Amino acid sequence: MIAQGASLSSKLDQISSHLKPLSYAVDANNNITIAGLKVKDLLTKYGSPLYILCEETIRTRARLYVNAFKEFYSGESLVIYASKALNCKAVCKIIDSEGLGIDVVSGGELFTALSVGFPKEKIIFHGNNKGKDELEMAIENQIGSIMLDNFYELELISELLREKFSVDTVVNLSIRVTPGIECHTHEYIKTGRIDSKFGFDLSQVDELISRILALKEKYKNINIKGLHAHIGSQIFETMPHNDVAGVLLNQYKSLKDKYGISLQDINVGGGLGIKYHEHDDPPEINDWVKVVADSIVANCKALNLDLPRVIVEPGRSIVGPAGITAYKVGNIKNIPNLRKFVAVDGGMADNVRHIMYQARYYAEVDGKIGDAKTEKVTIAGKFCESGDILIRDIDLPELNHDDVLVVYSTGAYNYSMASNYNRVRRPAMLLVNNGRADIIIRRETYEDVVQWDELPQSLS
């Protein structure tokens, strides 16, 4: 484990240019190593396909966010890890040990964080349709903030307070708004425009505040902590986040003037993109943080506001580049004058992002690093769907059966979206650091796949 006080080397000033984990290396025999461990050896020991997560990369990226706010923002700040990118016990513990908070979007993610003793005051609960049982869990555990997304959630909270909690129960609320800001990213991951399933339109905020204040007359410990907006994911621009701060702080000022409410937090969300392909050029973490910090400072000065606590919610940009997925090559199908398909032993059930978002990835062939890339191939999965493609038209050295293909930047939204489609077993995940590998998610067995099946008595 990296020491808590370890300094970051100057080479990390340009960390967004890194496509691969920080501990990536190639040995004298062209074998890919992560944290000093040969990927081929890990595949032999733990099976294929295999998720491999570099601890050094996660910790380093988390620290870059924290340190950047210390450098560029004189007020209080809190970096919150958006755990939907990858939520498991080990990652929650790493995030906690680096001093970050965590955001969750379901009862399962909340339960996972609580199960490892994550500080409750640093948990934010997001989601556009939280269930009553999920809200009950959040209130019972006195988490840092429930992110109000709609009027229905406020009704559910009111019911829960009436039915199950005392009048002294503390409920911390923040408000998610849609700022009407567009960004250049995939249609499915734009969340800041008005036509979004998430959050309140700005025209609804006054009504919401009135309802909360009415509820607060009976439940005195309902606290409105802050405002939040999130404009999307995998964003390569910085200026939209400059604009988000302006929208939120103008609303902040309005609530103070109209209702005398002094909010604590301004949460500008996350969404910073990462490098999935050699041609991607995302902003640096430092540059993104500086834009956010400068915008908040400038807007607060213009509006005569004290500096709020700034919250940001990076997810992908912390864990995405930390992960690789290793596969074994199986069937190779050459269609003359058209296409060469190379099938691997995984696919859309362990990485659905290509079929969902047309996401692009970069890959290398273990043991053939530096070899001439003589073929343009399409990497296909093993699942019974024509759209089950991992990488379309990539230049690689000649591939053979049982070659190991390593796909980069798979730490975010790969395991978290994985499925048992075709009743496959989901892969194992390893955490690697300083020559050590630990299983943090075990490979499923066939018994796992059928464990929730039930035969009715009429079929027994």
Q: What is the pLDDT of residues 380-401, one digit of tens each?
A: 999 999 999 999 999 999 999 9
Q: Is residue 275 within 8 Å of 17, Cβ to Cβ?
A: yes
pLDDT digits (tens, 9 = 90+) for 145-182: 999 999 999 999 999 999 999 999 999 999 999 987 65
What mean pLDDT is predicted for residues 213-217? 95
- Angstrom CA distances, 365 to 334, 415, 434, stand at 19, 22, 23
Which pLDDT band holds residue 259 (cuts at 50, 70, 90)?
very high
Token pair recorded at residue 292: 């956010």
Q: Which of 297, 279, 398, 424 is nearest to 340 (CA)?
A: 398
Sort strands 50-54 and 428-433 into parallel, antiparallel or unpaired: parallel
SS3 255: helix
- Topology alike, domains 10-54+320-450 and 73-314: no
**Rounded Cα distance, 70 and 85, in Å:** 25
| Tally of residues, the chain | 460
Spell out a b/e string for 103-117, using b for 16 or more CB atoms within 10 Å of the CB, else e: bbbbbebbebbbeee
Distance CA 159, CA 338 (A): 62
Least confident of 102-111, 229-238, 297-306, 444-453: 229-238
Q: What CATH class does 10-54+320-450 carry?
A: mainly beta
Mean pLDDT of the chain: 92
pLDDT digits (tens, 9 = 90+) for 134-150: 999 999 999 999 999 99
Q: What's the confidence (pLDDT) of residue 103?
A: 97
Cα 142 to Cα 96: distance, rounded to the nearest angstrom: 17
* Average pLDDT score over residue span 183-193: 40
Q: Residues 361-375: what's their mean pLDDT? A: 96
Taking 90 as the threshold, does the pLDDT of residue 226 lie above it? yes
| pLDDT for res 237 | 82
Burial 208-237 (b: 16+ CB within 10 A, else e): bbeebeebeeebeebbbbbbbbbbbbbbbb
Query: pLDDT value at position 16?
Result: 75
Alpha-carbon distances, residue 361 vs 23, 378, 389 (angstroms): 19, 12, 11
Q: pTM of the prediction? A: 0.93
Residue 279: what pLDDT? 87
| Strands in 44-85 per DSSP E | 50-54, 77-82
First to last CA, the chain: 52
Alpha carbons 228 and 177: distance in angstroms, whole number = 6
What pLDDT is attached to residue 13?
A: 60
Q: Which helix (H) or strand (E) holds 171?
A: strand 171-178
Q: Domain ranges for the chain, please list them.
A: 10-54+320-450, 73-314
Tokens of 40: 């081929």
Q: What is the mean pLDDT of residues 397-423?
A: 97
126: amino acid identity, one letter: H
Query: Is there a cis peptide before residue 314, judged by omega within 30 degrees of 0?
Result: no
Share of the chain above pLDDT 90, in %: 85
Q: So what's the pLDDT on residue 357?
A: 86
Query: Three-class SS of residue 240?
Result: helix
Annotated catalytic, 54?
Answer: no
3-state helix, strand and coil shares in percent for the chain, rounded to the nearest 5: 35, 25, 40
Least confident span in 48-52, 99-103, 258-262? 258-262
pLDDT band at residue 196, thresholds of 50, 70 and 90?
confident
Q: What pLDDT was estimated at residue 240?
A: 77
- The dihedrals phi and psi of 336, each to the nearest 5 degrees, come to -50, 135
Residue 28: pLDDT over 80: yes
Superfamily of domain 73-314: Alanine racemase (3.20.20.10)
* Centroid of chain to Cα 21: 16
Please report, for the chain, how many H helices and E strands are present, in that order: 12, 21
Distance CA 347, CA 337 (A): 25
Q: Between 388 and 280, where is the model more confident?
A: 388
Closest C-alpha to 135, from 163, 115, 102, 93: 163
The predicted pLDDT at position 232 comes to: 79
Phi, psi of 158 (to 5 degrees): -60, -45
CB 410 within 8 A of CB 361: yes
Answer whether 194's CB lies under 8 Å from 178's CB: yes
Which residue type, as a one-letter code, is found at position 88?
C
Instruction: Determine the Cα–Cα distance for residues 263 and 256; give it in Å rounded to an integer.
Output: 8
